[in-house]
Structure 1
Amino acid sequence: MSHHPSDENPNAIAQVKVLSLLGAVLLVGANSFVLSPILSEVAFSLATETYHVAWAISAFGAATAVSALTLAGMIDRMPVGRVLGGAAILLAVAQVSSGLSQHWIWLCLSQAVAGVAVGILLPGSYATATATAPKGREAARLGVVLTGWALSLVVAVPAAAFITEHFGWRMVYFLMAGLSVIVAGVLMAFLADLRGGKSTRTSPIRAIMLPGVWQLLAVMLAFMTAFYGSFAFFGVGVRAAFGLTAQGSGIFVLAYGVGFGVMGFVLGMISPKITRGYLCLVLLAIAASYGTWGLTLQSQITALAGTAMWGMLNQLGLNALVVSLNRQASEARGAVMGLNSAATYSAVFAGPMIMGPIYDMAGYAMVTGVGAVFVAMAAVVIWKRG
């Protein structure tokens, strides 16, 4: 990936580029998270069951995984602004269609189209963030961009609930579509000077055979399975522990998002050197965080602190893994980040499926205990990788 920087305010332009990529990740997070808290309102509006509406989330995840495997490599070959901006426009179209849905199948199809867009937009944003960062500053650049996930939890999810209550759920999707159009324009304008570094497509099989890539993808799959499996039951876990309402449990989701976001900005300032030892230590710290939830749930104060720490550690882990994958990717960053997104959205499916029976049998502390085992195994893979 190459670029031709402008002589006019290069620092300001670089900052806008980073913020445009943060905006792209915010779009992805917002579309990923907003439907869950408004499922019942959408189902009532469409005169259907909530599980039918929930299938739209599954359609989104499945389409994202397929798109990431097959289309993400475009970022390696085509103008970056055109690829990412076009994906954001497609996401806007899907969001307008979602807002206009008159049947749950229509909504599912619309969210599948959104998944196609995200399968390009998310890996492309990750690849661009690390490829354009000054040498040694990849973690810092990516830390800021990844903060888009935290903002989607802290801002987009509560905003979606408020907008649904006062203006209806359709307005949520129309407003997100407007934001997608704005981000598309910024991406096209400020990333127009970036070009992919390859003229031919790198297949997923060829990308996964690059040295070290499959091991890191296996680690990412374990890391994300632990997260999505634990996060799926996090709300009901804290509600059961402290007798909270759904609204009361929202403060814990907020604590996670704040922790994740704060650590992103810290990384933006310190930019740690990502080594094998560093990654192992981070993964072991995350495993310890999962393994101690039985103690963390003894009081609401310790639970809030533990949740914020979970968010901070997950920012460190995700950042280090994405930077490591990009280092192994050479000129196939888009293809490798596509594999990463496919692994991530496979975990979206696998995590809750694995952890569901465990939660029913033994409760939330056992769910996080299993998560600790997954992450500890990931640390072993990193250590043996050499």
Structure 2
Amino acid sequence: MTLPPLSLYVHMPWCVRKCPYCDFNSHAAPELVPQAQYIDALLEDLQNDLSAVQGRELTSIFFGGGTPSLFAPEQIGRLLEAVRRQIPFDSGIEITLEANPGTIEHGRFAGYRDAGINRVSLGAQTFNEEQLRLLGRIHGARDIERAVEELRQAGLDNFNLDLMYGLPAQNVAQALLDLEAALSLQPAHISQYQLTLEPGTVFYHRPPPLPDPDDCWQMQIECQEVLAARGYEQYEVSAYARPGRRSRHNLNYWEFGDYIGIGAGAHGKLSRLDEGEVIVRTTRVKQPREYMSRAADLRVSERRVVPAADVPFEFMLNSLRLIDGFDEHEFESRTGLPFATVSRTVAEAQRKGLFELDRPHHWRATPNGQRFLNDLQEMFLPEPEGAGA
């Protein structure tokens, strides 16, 4: 095992309102968000994982949520300045802020730019006003356009638009209209993913009328064709980018890199050479109030060494989302395991038409493998204890 690149994920847990489809750790914001107190807690929390830096620089930072744009630029800047004093930044570091178009005031993006943000991810979801209402969003289509205007005025041209398809009663033509509206704003990156009903959400317990799966598949295929024709390269299951604008932070996840996760409910993944070449998963306390009130060393609610038998599945769970796949050396360097550990499963997936060797020692999912990605990934689950040939 060799140390992979290192990122930082910062979870900001509050939203103006919880969306009925959202299963992220987000909470309705109080009248006054305790911004300064929460930033203080984040900086204390960071101390728990500083030993895992092991001489590396940060290649990316991502503020996710929740709605990070509820926090003032001054607070974001204070956090970034304090992090930089403790972990060196790569010269080309990507620092992304998720933002809700309905929470952006005039001049706000200029403040975020001055604080150090150089990439923004806007949660557009759809440009259809009725769909926005059904999804519980607090913004309208005009708010998305206004937010993009604000981004450009601030000189932040590296931005992503989140879009969903398979929305309640949506048809293929409507999905294409949404995509055209997004493309008219000329984002550097588009994330387009299908609405799914996640356990624990309002939609899961009271499902809206969703399109037929075959219609959703047609939406995906036709949208992919449009994106390719407009110069957006698909590099991951739901990610499309103009040349040179792939998300460095998300690529680090999918390439099985390391990331420190701080904030209420944040998850982290760290390679620890100092503990015997193991991979450690961390989880923070979920409830914001509890997170802030606990002592710094008690904010980590779980610290788990990943069993060696589970590592191949975890690697494939990420890497197989990439259209380009992975090479055998990358598997060995990121997991600390010989490729022979998975070679039999890889050969079986190849026989089933789910895997292909597109160049020497380099594997990727076939188009059929991408369509049935969950089935392909599950082939790498460890055998139950006691199972034998």
Q: Which has the higher Rg, Structure 1 or Structure 2?
A: 2
Normalization by structure 2: what TM-score?
A: 0.25
Greater fraction of residues in strand? 2
Normalization by structure 1: what TM-score?
A: 0.25
